Structure 1
């Protein structure tokens, strides 16, 4: 699977009950702990914002970064120390953390160039975090009565044919649709989202819808088509109007159509570009109820699947609607796993 790793962390607490439904458990957050795709991003208690990004893309827009505080850099386990470890031990080209309005960086903006790592205003590809924006837009359509979670998605996306997958299963990565990025002939193109979906539908299902969990960009590609067909506007325009605009995310945008992008880093599953401040503003706006009704936000974060030990998710992790909860104690292993994947050629 081709992915760029953008990891972000926040301290978290959750309470869970013992109810299960087809392998899922409801979790009630005492305060948000969230993430998307291969990333973990969020806003903490009393407005404390924490963002950590491990950047595996071959290049990133950058300007000169401020020097790290020497005392913080020397403290084992401190923010700067952890970023230095990601670069010096784990091989990340550049890392970024944003804590209480302060930016920490390590490494370079582009491997082999020596250019300073990104600063507080630099833009970077959100990768899997884009899925949370797409999920929020879909839940807006649900709140407006235009989409029903348990309806077959083919009602809104005829290209699915007879596939029985529901909208809920797409949001929760429980469709069984195979990863389309591994099926593309990258020497050809350009391809449309419909072309990508056709490739996935022609391949064998990973599992029957609802029977298991498996991270697949194809799920959110289909949700992008759902937005197109139910909103009357392209998913890019719809997400700009219903998510980016209301939250004032002026530094978050879709790359120009036709602009070269890393493999798999496009469309409603991974295409957005943003800044650390905008990303934190998104999480704050989502969890503070400025985008969706409270019940819709609770649906996104409470209707979850245990994904601990799968993909890059450590024990105790749960996946909801484009967001994941990951124990703070498990972040180290998550980043290690993602970096290991990066060294094997992910996002090349």
Structure 2
């Protein structure tokens, strides 16, 4: 897929009024500028990319704030947006007959035999796996699993813990670490290769991959310690890449280049009993300011340390927005409640 950055691409510093005004003078008024205004007013410092309706082969990429140590090619940790990619790989394997959502994980992975876990249980965080977040903190206060665990799969397939009851769920990165291993077992290919061939090529990715602990690639705020920690998340949150790759992934989903319509409908079926959790993301209808009726929203959040990421898709309008920041305390708000910067940005782009 051929992609290009629109002429209204801008690198902006909110600490420089002159730079901000000059950049805005160079771009036409429209959804991109409206989104920039909204983020500016909310004090956002980070990067964002937007896919506009009717222009699915193009994205716009902008920067807000003073932290300009990332570029479009180098990118950001995707954090738990990684789970969206893993969920797509699972559904591709379902389409190809290697898996089913009700497949017994223990039949694929003997260490989990007899536990009664299905693939869908892992996708929806309904497992009895140990939780990495419960491991003792290291000297930096990070759960030690992510920085010192030499055998992550052995940990994740260890002694069962109490399983969520009925339709309840309990967020657990081991669910997706195990799913990554399941994908390797049923396909015979490494997870890196599957991501590259089955998602990256079809999406037209530039430079997104799972991070290794000793990886020297550049990304926003990259340090050896940060890279090691992100790598420790593996299949649950270990992807690093530019935001325009994230938008390209969204576009490939919308165009049916990654999944059939039937599989995409399953992927994006939000369960009201689980807070509208779908498979690897949340899907719900929300009131957007300026739109006459509620709009269907696909939302995937991610957070590791200081990093926060959002991947937002409006499937019925052909719009996608990706945002990333190192403001760990910045409040994105709750779209479903009709308030906060995420809601306001979607409203500006979709309904302005």
Q: TM-score, normalised by structure 2?
A: 0.60
The question of 1:319 aligning with 2:286 is answered no
- Summarize the Cα distance change of 1:342–1:179 in structure 2 as closer, same or farther, 3 Å threshold: farther
Max radius of gyration: which structure? 2
- Check conservation: 2:103, 2:119, Cα contact below 8 A: yes
- Aligned mates of 1:300, 1:125 — CA distance in 2: 23
Task: After superposition, give the CA deviation of every residue in 1:297-335 in whole Å (9 maximum; x if it has no partner).
Answer: 111112635444xxxxxxxxx22111222555589xx99
- Summarize the Cα distance change of 1:152–1:132 in structure 2 as closer, same or farther, 3 Å threshold: same
Instruction: Name the structure 2 match of 1:192.
Output: 151
Instruction: Name the structure 2 match of 1:272.
Output: 239
Q: CA RMSD in A?
A: 3.8
Map 1:225-244 → 2, pairs under 5 A: 225-244=181-200
Determine helix, strand or coil for the equivalent of 2:236.
helix
Where does the alignment leave 5 or more consecutive residues of structure 1 unmatched?
A: 1-63, 110-115, 309-317
Q: Could you tell me how far 1:273 is from its partner in structure 2?
A: 1.3
- Aligned mates of 1:152, 1:193 — CA distance in 2: 21
- Aligned mates of 1:78, 1:133 — CA distance in 2: 29
Instruction: Name the structure 1 match of 2:83.
Output: 131
Say which of 148, 162, 166 aligns to 1:205: 162
Q: Could you tell me how far 1:119 is from its partner in structure 2?
A: 4.7
Q: Could you tell me how far 1:117 is from its partner in structure 2?
A: 6.1
Instruction: Name the structure 1 match of 2:100.
Output: 148
Determine helix, strand or coil for the equivalent of 1:319.
coil
- Aligned mates of 1:268, 1:67 — CA distance in 2: 42
Q: Could you tell me how far 1:167 is from its partner in structure 2?
A: 0.7
Instruction: Name the structure 2 match of 1:298.
Output: 265
Instruction: Name the structure 1 match of 2:255.
Output: 288
- Aligned mates of 1:122, 1:323 — CA distance in 2: 25
Determine helix, strand or coil for the equivalent of 1:342.
coil
- Aligned mates of 1:143, 1:207 — CA distance in 2: 28
Q: Could you tell me how far 1:227 is from its partner in structure 2?
A: 0.7
- Summarize the Cα distance change of 1:228–1:102 in structure 2 as closer, same or farther, 3 Å threshold: closer
Instruction: Name the structure 2 match of 1:342.
Output: 328
Instruction: Name the structure 1 match of 2:65.
Output: 107
Q: Could you tell me how far 1:83 is from its partner in structure 2?
A: 1.9
- Aligned mates of 2:34, 2:177 — CA distance in 1: 38
Q: TM-score, normalised by structure 1?
A: 0.61
Determine helix, strand or coil for the equivalent of 1:218.
helix
Determine helix, strand or coil for the equivalent of 2:247.
helix
- Aligned mates of 2:21, 2:239 — CA distance in 1: 26
Q: Could you tell me how far 1:237 is from its partner in structure 2?
A: 1.7
- Aligned mates of 1:154, 1:133 — CA distance in 2: 23
Determine helix, strand or coil for the equivalent of 2:116.
coil
Q: Which moved more, 1:292-301 or 1:93-102?
A: 93-102
- Aligned mates of 1:69, 1:80 — CA distance in 2: 9
Q: Could you tell me how far 1:184 is from its partner in structure 2?
A: 5.6
Instruction: Name the structure 1 match of 2:56.
Output: none
Determine helix, strand or coil for the equivalent of 1:256.
coil
- Aligned mates of 1:117, 1:72 — CA distance in 2: 26
Instruction: Name the structure 1 match of 2:350.
Output: none
Q: Could you tell me how far 1:126 is from its partner in structure 2?
A: 0.8
Q: Could you tell me how far 1:105 is from its partner in structure 2?
A: 2.2
Q: Could you tell me how far 1:95 is from its partner in structure 2?
A: 4.2
- Matched residue pairs, number? 254
Q: Could you tell me how far 1:72 is from its partner in structure 2?
A: 9.4
- Summarize the Cα distance change of 1:158–1:277 in structure 2 as closer, same or farther, 3 Å threshold: same
